[in-house]
Structure formats: structure tokens, C-alpha cells
A and B are shown apart, each in its own frame.
Chain A
């Protein structure tokens, strides 16, 4: 054989299943499958998957040249609060940095509200004698001996991981560096992270929090990455292990072991990157990613490019590091329908999750869920076997819905319809303010539906929010893994600027330092890239305001003559987003930012090989009654594998695929594009079905 096939492997380790996606580099041909996750030993599932790959699909580990993996281990460790016993070393006077946070109560109207419990117990906080002034000069020198004794004391109390957060370390890391280096030398068994290493941005709580999270999950993540590395070497997989990041990029697993906090939102970020990739392939740059899972919908927005946020949340915690802008809406397929004290039908936020799952899963769940409503509506052909071997039990769905039918005085079909209507209203209520906060109008966007349940509900929501079209990509179930395989190396850097009027010298120095750091980071990544890209941006605001706008610079280096253009760009951006600006207003630049990208080789997006006459109708597999707006109608059921580019489908219709079910309501029409995307639109009034 002269030309051996080359493969890329993407692995996404979820709570229940570990998804594998393998792409053949030359053709773009995609193979995907699932294997059960092993929560106690997550690397085990990866190994199992690789064995399946070689035994059942004939792809040997050494044929894999490129390996990206994403894991929810860090996220779950944080959410389940089972990370390391963590300590905090903090400047004297600020022991309650993590306790107080930003003060505001999660719900100020509820007398039984609870503050978010910090990751570090108050007894494991030690105040350190040291202090820097705001300009980074030393006011009180570091007492290294006392600080080391404090760390020893914490270890004696069971602390295994420690976060160092000193005032103004973003300006001058001298004390943090001294202390971190010293502790690593003196106490090698202690996992140490310092705030300037994790994310050197002004704001002690937010910087301290990401540092504490890093310390809390770091121990476990490092162990996991070591284990994965050893396992891969053992089976002969020689490709560098890469891991996905919250910012939609990838980095070497070794880097992730040092800074695991950067991976927390990598799952949804990869999905969003997959959505971006799909959109770009079909020439669409305004997309709303609609990823509906069991407990929530993750919404990502692509407006020309991916939107990033520095105000993400993980559970209750704010995250200031740049991440793909994902908002979570509390409504999923497993969301439970219930009656409140006044007999009003509510859906969620409680979810039946994966276990026991919706009643129709037959795993012991008896509460009616959104999925059970889909089943009662008739969206699942009787006897259909879903991905993962699941068959939905129509009778159990009926029984569960009947528990609400009596009190509501409705039939189970009406209950199902009501559950979907309330779910749509819930989604709408959370979705619209989200768009408003970004200054975006949904009518300019397409809704790109993925995740298990996304394509079932996307059209129902689309009708309410008025998007231009709904797109269901060819493989909506594995968009995450596809996104991770298309991702570039990416790292963000930040430098806080002195307060007051923009200082050209400080800007030049700040950008120069960051560009050097960024280039070093990329050079240290152990894989070759096609191209290095540097992107500069600045956080700006009108003097006296307390929130920033991040304005991109259109060059990859900054010189002082560019300052007027930057200020001009800020006014323009402000005008665009807020509808007015103040060209005479004084400007402040709070932070400068640099992002480095290492562009990786891309695999072509395969086009559909089947073609049909434009506008022709595919052959329905069967016709079955479904309930729509409370009325029983006949719907055509299609097998997605038989659809060809050019086909047109009129609702009501259901399109079945191994990884999803698409529900096209009666007032929608859809067509299949060259890449196999299904694109649906509301029929104009008067347009005959």
C-alpha cells in the first residue's frame, strides 16, 4: 500500500456516554459511535472506544494522527463539589474575598435564599503579610517565612491544593511568583496556583475565583491527564493528546493539566464551533445555536463570527476568562411537568435527567416530561429503536401524562400539547432578554438545531421568536466532536491598563509583552500549525462608566499612531450596539487583550452524493397520525438517510435519523441543501402546502 489512510479522532466524554467521531482526512468521511462512560475512571472509556475502533472498524491506534478530546471531568468536579480540599493565601485584610463575592444575593426577594458556598472553607484561608500599591510598587514586603508556615499549617489540616491571590498581582506578580515558586520547591506535594498565572485581570474576586476553581479541580485533572497519556502510549496512539477549551480552541493536554479552568465550558463551546463550521460551509454567518439536551438548552450566537463572553457563569460562579458565549436555558427533554400550588401547569426546572429519565424510557421514571409529551404527540413511530438501543414506551408516557390530565381536566393529548406550549413559552421568556442584552434581533438569524432534542423543538420556538429559518445539520448528534476536530489552537491573554486617559506608551508595552507571551505559548504547543494569527483588542468605555466594550484592532501589532483609530472604532461600536454615542466623551482603556491562534489543517465538509430534482418530494416511509395544536392530523414520516439534495418536504412531517428526530410542524416547509442540511421556513400565508 502506497498511501495509508489517515484519521482524526475526536472524543467527547459526557456523563452517560463517551462519543467518538473519526474523520478520514482526505475524504472527510465521518464515522461516529458511542460507548458508555466510566465516571470512576474517565480515561477507561476512551480506551474502550479505541479498542472498538480497531476491532470493529479496522482503524488501528497508530493510524490516528490527530486526537482531540473534550471532557466534563473538570466541570463535574466543580458542580458536584468533590475537588481537592483547597486553601487560599490572600493579602491581609481580604480573607473574605471568596465569601463576599460581589455581595448581591441570588434572589433578594426570598427570605430563605442562600449565599453561594465558597470552594474554600473560611478556616482554610490564611492572610499573608504583603501589599502592593495600585501601580505595582511594594508597600509592604512579602513575609515569605510566615506565608510558608501558613501553607504548612493548611496542609496539616488536610489541604492538598492552594490558591494564591494577592492584591494587584495582575499589575506586578512579584510577590505571587516568589511565594508560588517557594511553595513548589518547599512543599512539592501541594498543588499550587497563583492568580497571575491563571488570569491576570484586575478585580480581586473574579480573578481569585478562577484561581480557586483551578486549584479545586487541578489535582484531579492532572491525575486524569497523566493517566490518559500513559494509556494512549500503551495502545500505541502516538498523536499528541489535544483538549478542547471554553474559548472554542484547543491546546495540548499538558497545558490543560496546568490550567484546567480553561476547559470548563469546552463541551458546549465545541458544539458551538461545530455550528459555526456548518454555517460557514453553507455560507451562513448569522446563526443561533440551539443545543437541547436532557435538562437544558445551550444557546450560542454566531454574528459574523462566534460571540465570546467574559461574563460566563458556571453553576453559580462567574467566569471572567473569555469563553464562547453560551447561555443556558432551563428547559430540556427531561424537564418535568408539574402543577404548582394553584394548579397551574409548570415545566422544569427539575429534570428527570438521564436516570431515571422520562417515563417513556422505562427506567423507573414515572413523572411526565417534555419527551413524554413528544411521544404522546406521536413523533416516535411505534417500535422505533433509537441510538443507544433505546425504545420509547408509549404506554408509560400515557400513564405519566394521565397524572396531570385529571387535575387539569384535559385529555392526555391536550396535556402533551400544553406541556410543549409551556416549554416553548419558558424558552421564549429566557431567550428574548438574552438577545436584548446583546442588542440582537432574532429575525436576522437562523436557528441551528442540534443535540438530541433540539430538532424536535426548534420549529416550535422558531415560530415564536421569528427567526428567518431553522437549520438542522446533517449530523446534529455529533456536532461537538466535529467542532473539536475543526478547532484551532487558541489562547487568550490580558493586561490591565492604568486608570485614566489612554497612555500610548503603556498600550505599546502591554501589547508587546502579550504578543511575546502569546507567540511563546504557541511555540510551546507540540503540534505543527499552518499559520499563526495574532488578534488584538481593547476593553474600552466612556470615562465614568463601569462596564466595558471589547473593541477589536484591525492589525496584529499596536503603534501609538493607531490610538485615534481605536478610539474612533470604540465610538462606532458603541453607536452600533447602544444606538447612540458621545464622540466628545473622554475614553478609558481598561484592559488590552491578545489572542493567538494556531490554524490547524481542515478536513473538507462532505457534500451529499444523492441529488433530487429541486423541489421534488421524497418518498415517505409511512403516514401516521400526530397531534398538532390539539388536533389529530396525518403526518408523513421520512427516513433521513433517503433524503437527497434538492428535496422539499411540507409539514406536518417527522424525519427520523439514528441521532435525532426532526419535527416539522404543519405550517413549515423544508428543503435539503447540498451538504444535507435541512432548512425549514414558515410558509408564507396563502402559500399552499
Chain B
């Protein structure tokens, strides 16, 4: 290293100040509701190599480190001082952007004629055109339906803005003023970065800064490798499902094998499902260390070593196998809007693998679903349609080695803020009847999982439209670890007090006057055998009304008598209990896999991947029906049999 340890800490602090300032500027001046309500924006500094050298931790999403900056940077042969580039298209940025609403900008920072770094910024814009207001809809089948695609373009050349591009972009959005406000906020953020990095180079010298950047990345890498080296070598596998309604009966499978060898980690997604004709494809373009695939591991580094520099050096020890044509590396042109659901399930699989490798330090899986509940209706005063976030809905985290899970939220989406219900009622004709933790929703464990949230709302004006895209875990459960119970399911009910009707996954629901909708968010798994939980802690949960006395008895083997533990009865209950251990994936999954064994799914996916993309989409549904028929008939259904079925079907099709 060319930089002394002291100077390295000084540089780390200085770069951190710059990216926090960038984030502050964006937050302060950004226009769309996503910036303030859900912190859906980001800012970072990127080394000339395209690796993130610093990213904010205090505001904004935690999804910067690992972005493939080299793709954006390499989109142009040369840069001038004062250039600013813009793009939102996942395909032409090869995974920098992962859906169209994220409008990215970047700017080279020149010192003495040489590019010393780039500043990057994105904002989740409220609308970029496309088939629906807000641009995101799960039923989109290709990217053209999702809005305006901006390939990498020079928005500003040497300080002069290209008004033609601005005009083209704004003409294609439903809320051009807000978008223009957002773009100006982004330009302000980049200008701040430019000035601060130049000041830094003036203070310490260009070469010292350049070496500082290289050494910060190397230092993060070295510390990450040290942590990985402490993970036992081995291959760890996990798979889980997304239930999204993409028209197929079989849920989408995410499969992961994590191989730890020495100080490196390889993530192999072979066996993950094929891409879908719905907006759940996650366009990673096979980029190693992609930010939407590595968050779980980055968080793990930061948990074990809170002082670790937060930059893309952390992803250098990671390699990835992302088969082309799968949900985690789709072909170009697919729909991407709701890819966050996929990102969350990938995170669950990584956590499950870490849990196998390091059971004593890894939490049980978290709820695994986030939805932003939006309500919209026509303002009777103005006749204009208005839209607002009702609440972000997330579930509790998994139980943790020495702590209970977090109630009401977890690590995917832990940056989300809720909406004051008094403000919601002032902005929309709704009445919130309940917003709180759901009793008995937390998964039992020696360390229990976090509770889910119950949100019940009465609609007061006819014609209110409700959406909650990305809600998952209606069917399958978050896993319990080391004998802990699995998490609870999501429930969405229309008029729970009257003729209750389960709504399931909702894309869009129109409510009548006085209709009530109740959401209960899913929860993470428990950690450890719940019958080993300290009876005093169970009593506390009962007194705090997190669990009922019945649940204390059935779930934990603790008998409560008034305000005290009945020691004798508890002893009896507990001695009759057969200890639980291992991972508990829930009954729904076992049922499903009796119908669809994992090996069959694996063979099916591999067989489909071998086909051309167009054929694959056409063959999938009938092929799955045939496999099901064959399995029900008790026939063996391996890769050879599946290939034969495909040959048969394509032969039929040709005839």
C-alpha cells in the first residue's frame, strides 16, 4: 500500500463526507415521493476502474456497493470536464440500472486533465411513462411497456446541457415538472462531488488521492477476505420460491449454491428459474458482485467488522454464476419493474447458506416481502387524480443468535420510513383502524422472530384504488433456524369484520365506500428450539401481549398463571416435548415439493434453458402440465424423460 494507515483513515472519512453530502443534496432537493418517504435514491463515488469507492450509509438505500460502474463509464470513448451522462435502461447499461424508474446520472471528475473518479447518482422517479401511471406493473411482459428507455447519453457536454434530450425525456413522462426537478437535484449532487473531490486533490495532491482510492479498495478487499477465510470451506445450498402470479402454476424457484473456498465465495445460481413474461426479471447481466445480489454478504461483512471500508473492494472476493435466460440474468428486453421481489428472495437464499456455514452468528430468515401500499382516487374538489403512499408494509426479521428478531421490519427494506396515520387521513379519505404489531404473529424460537404488522384501513370515498405490488409469502414461509418455527404468512382481507374475503396478491383493487382492507405482514423465522426459551422471556412476551397465554403453552411449553410462570406445569410441558433442530421450511413447502420434487424442478429448468428463448416461453406451461401428469401416474421424470417430452412437443408443434 502506498497510503499510510493514518492517511487511509483520513481519506475514508473525507470520501464518506462527500457521498453523505451528495445524498443530502439529493434528499433536500429531490421532488418525487419516493425520495422522502422511502429513501429510494442513491449516490456514490466510483473509481476510474468503475468500482464504487465510497457510498453513503446514513441516508438513501443501501444498494450502491457492487454497481457495475465500468459499463456506464465504458459507454463513451472519451469525456470532457463538465460532462454529465444519463441513462435508465437496464439493457444498454448492462445492469447498472435494474428498472426504468431509476434515472441514473454520472459525471467524470477531472484533476489536472486526468479523470480521478466518477460521481454517480440515481433517483427512483415517480413516473417514466409506460402503460400505467408510476410505470411499474407486474403484468408488463416486456421493457417497452414499462416506459421511456434512455440508453447512456451525454445530457451535459462540457458544462452545456443538451436541451433536446431534456425535451425528449420530459415529453415521455406523465409528471415532467417533477422529473425535471429530480434531474436538477441529481445534477446538484454531482456538482457537489466534483467540487469536493477537486478540493481534496488540491489539499493532498492528485497522486496521493489516486493511491488513496486504490488502497481503500484494496483495504476493503483484504478485510473481506479475512472474514471469508474464517467461514468454514464448503458448499452450501438453498432454494426458495416466489409466488408471483405470472400466469404459471409453478412458483418461481431461486436456487443457490454458495461455495466458500479459502478467502473467496462463489455464488452459483444454476437451477434458478427461467425468466418470466412478467415484471420480476432481475437484470444483473451476469455482473460479478452485482449490488442486487451481494447485499446480504455486504451486510454480513459490516455486521462482523463495523469499521470495514464500505466500497466495492468488498465484492472482489465474490464470483457468480448467473446462467443466461434465468430470472437472475434474463435476456434483454424483458420486463423488470418489480425486480425487488426477486432481489429479496435472493437475499433469503444467501442468508440460508450463511446460516448453514455459520449457524452461531447468522439470523434466521426474515419475512422476505416488502410492498408499498399506494392509494389513489379522484379529488372531488379539483377533479384530479391523486396518489399517495398509505404505508410501506414489511414483516419482522428472523430471530438472531443472541437477540430476538426485529418487530415490524427487517434488513431488506430496513431503510423504509412509515407514514404518520394522521397525515394519511388528512391526505386521503380513509380511516386507519389499526396500525400495530399482530399478536401471535412472531415465529416461536429460543430467540423468537420479529412480529408482523397489522394495518387495517376503512375507505370513505367510492372509487379509491389500492395497490400493493410485490407482496409475497402468502403461501410459503420464511425458514426457522436450528429448531425455530417458520414465519407466518401474509394475509390480505377485504372486510374482515363482515363477509371476509381473502384478497391474496393484489395488483389493483377498487374499493367501495366503507370497504375495509386488512393487511397482516409476514414474519421471519424463529432461531433455536422455542422450548428452550427462557420462561421469563416468554412471560414478558405474554405480559407485553406479543403472544397469548395459549401460544406460550403450545409454542413454547410455558404455562402462565396470572402474572407468573407456573414452574411445575412448565416443567411437565417441556419434558414431554421432543427437541426440535435444523431448518424448518414450513408445511406448505413440503406439500408443494411432494408435488414438485426439487430434482424434477431442477431438471425441468435446465431442460428449458437449453431451448431458444422464444420456444421456452411457449413450451413451459404445457410441459409442466405433462410432467405433473407423469408424476401423478408414478412415472420417473428425470432430465432424459423431460427432454423426450420436449422433443415430442416441439415435434407436434412443427407438424
Do A and B originate from a single complex? Answer: yes
Q: Give the interface of A toward B (CB within 8 A).
A: 93-97, 99-100, 102-105, 107-115, 121-123, 133-134, 139, 167-168, 170, 202-206, 340-346, 408, 418, 421-422, 425-426, 428-433, 436-437, 439, 464, 498-501, 544-547, 577-580, 582, 585
Q: Give the interface of B toward A (CB within 8 A).
A: 5-6, 8-10, 13-14, 16-18, 20-21, 23-25, 27-29, 31, 33, 36-37, 39, 57-58, 62, 177-178, 181, 184, 188, 192, 196, 203, 219, 222-223, 226, 298-300, 302-303, 305-307, 362-363, 381, 392, 394, 400, 402-403, 406-409, 411, 413-418, 420-423, 425-427, 431-437, 453, 456, 543-546
- B411 and A432 contact, CB distance less than 8 A: no
- A99 and B407 contact, CB distance less than 8 A: yes
27 contacts between A and B (CB under 8 A): A99-B437, A102-B417, A103-B409, A104-B416, A105-B414, A107-B57, A108-B415, A109-B57, A111-B300, A113-B414, A114-B403, A167-B422, A202-B423, A203-B422, A206-B420, A342-B222, A344-B9, A408-B5, A408-B6, A418-B6, A426-B13, A430-B17, A433-B21, A545-B36, A546-B33, A547-B36, A585-B177
Which partner residue on chain A sits nearest B424 by CB separation?
A134
> Which one of A111, A167, A204 lies within 8 Å of B400 (CB-CB)?
A111
Q: How far is the CA of A107 from the CA of B426 in the complex (A)?
A: 30
- Give the top 10 A-B pairs by smallest Cβ distance, nearest first: A108-B414, A96-B436, A425-B13, A105-B414, A429-B17, A93-B434, A122-B544, A433-B20, A429-B13, A499-B426
- A436 and B426 contact, CB distance less than 8 A: no
CB distance from B379 to the nearest CB of A (A): 8
Q: How far is the CA of A139 from the CA of B514 in the complex (A)?
A: 14
Q: Given known contacts A96-B436, A500-B381, A585-B177, what 4 new A-B pairs fall within 8 Å (CB)?
A: A96-B437, A104-B409, A108-B62, A342-B219
Which partner residue on chain A sits nearest B57 by CB separation?
A109
- A579 and B36 contact, CB distance less than 8 A: no
With A115-B407, A344-B307 given, is the CB distance from A433 to B400 under 8 Å? no
CB distance from A370 to the nearest CB of B (A): 14
With A108-B411, A113-B406 given, is the CB distance from A122 to B302 under 8 Å? no
- B307 and A341 contact, CB distance less than 8 A: yes
> Which one of A139, A168, A343 lies within 8 Å of B422 (CB-CB)?
A168
- B6 and A345 contact, CB distance less than 8 A: yes
Which partner residue on chain A sits nearest B295 by CB separation?
A109
CB distance from A547 to the nearest CB of B (A): 6
CB distance from B32 to the nearest CB of A (A): 9
Which partner residue on chain B sits nearest A543 by CB separation?
B386
> Which one of A96, A105, A110, A499 lies within 8 Å of B303 (CB-CB)?
A110
CB distance from A586 to the nearest CB of B (A): 9
In the bound complex, residues from chain B placing their C-beta under 8 Å from that of A436 are 21, 24-25, 28, 192
> Which one of B10, B39, B298, B426 lies within 8 Å of A202 (CB-CB)?
B426
- B298 and A109 contact, CB distance less than 8 A: yes
Q: How far is the CA of A290 from the CA of B379 in the complex (A)?
A: 49
Which partner residue on chain A sits nearest B401 by CB separation?
A112
With A500-B381, A578-B28 given, is the CB distance from A103 to B20 under 8 Å? no
CB distance from A121 to the nearest CB of B (A): 7
> Which one of A122, A170, A501 lies within 8 Å of B546 (CB-CB)?
A122
CB distance from B42 to the nearest CB of A (A): 13
- B181 and A100 contact, CB distance less than 8 A: no
Q: How far is the CA of A649 from the CA of B193 in the complex (A)?
A: 37
- A111 and B21 contact, CB distance less than 8 A: no
> Which one of B181, B307, B421 lies within 8 Å of A580 (CB-CB)?
B181
- A422 and B17 contact, CB distance less than 8 A: no
- A422 and B6 contact, CB distance less than 8 A: yes
- A103 and B417 contact, CB distance less than 8 A: yes
Q: How far is the CA of A206 from the CA of B419 in the complex (A)?
A: 12
With A103-B392, A109-B302, A436-B21 given, is the CB distance from A429 to B16 under 8 Å? yes
> Which one of A93, A133, A203, A577 lies within 8 Å of B420 (CB-CB)?
A203
> Which one of A93, A170, A431 lies within 8 Å of B436 (CB-CB)?
A93
Q: How far is the CA of A431 from the CA of B20 in the complex (A)?
A: 10
- B421 and A167 contact, CB distance less than 8 A: yes
Which partner residue on chain B sits nearest A581 by CB separation?
B181
- A102 and B37 contact, CB distance less than 8 A: no
> Which one of A111, A439, A546 lies within 8 Å of B36 (CB-CB)?
A546
CB distance from B376 to the nearest CB of A (A): 12
Q: How far is the CA of A676 from the CA of B99 in the complex (A)?
A: 61
In the bound complex, residues from chain B placing their C-beta under 8 Å from that of A93 are 432-436, 456
In the bound complex, residues from chain A placing their C-beta under 8 Å from that of B20 are 429, 432-433
CB distance from A193 to the nearest CB of B (A): 19
CB distance from B468 to the nearest CB of A (A): 16
Q: How far is the CA of A167 from the CA of B28 in the complex (A)?
A: 29
In the bound complex, residues from chain A placing their C-beta under 8 Å from that of B411 are 105, 108-109, 111
- B9 and A345 contact, CB distance less than 8 A: yes
> Which one of A115, A133, A167, A418 lies within 8 Å of B406 (CB-CB)?
A115
In the bound complex, residues from chain A placing their C-beta under 8 Å from that of B392 are 103
In the bound complex, residues from chain A placing their C-beta under 8 Å from that of B27 are 437
- B6 and A421 contact, CB distance less than 8 A: yes
In the bound complex, residues from chain A placing their C-beta under 8 Å from that of B427 are 499
> Which one of A123, A345, A578 lies within 8 Å of B29 (CB-CB)?
A578
- A109 and B416 contact, CB distance less than 8 A: no
CB distance from A35 to the nearest CB of B (A): 39
With A93-B432, A433-B20, A437-B28 given, is the CB distance from A579 to B400 under 8 Å? no
- A105 and B415 contact, CB distance less than 8 A: yes
Q: How far is the CA of A107 from the CA of B409 in the complex (A)?
A: 12
Residue from A97, A139, A341, A408 having most chain B Cβ neighbours under 10 A: A341
- A100 and B426 contact, CB distance less than 8 A: no
With A341-B305, A418-B6, A436-B24 given, is the CB distance from A94 to B417 under 8 Å? no
Residue from B17, B184, B543 having most chain A Cβ neighbours under 10 A: B17
With A110-B303, A342-B223 given, is the CB distance from A582 to B177 under 8 Å? yes
CB distance from B230 to the nearest CB of A (A): 11
With A105-B415, A344-B307, A432-B17 given, is the CB distance from A437 to B423 under 8 Å? no
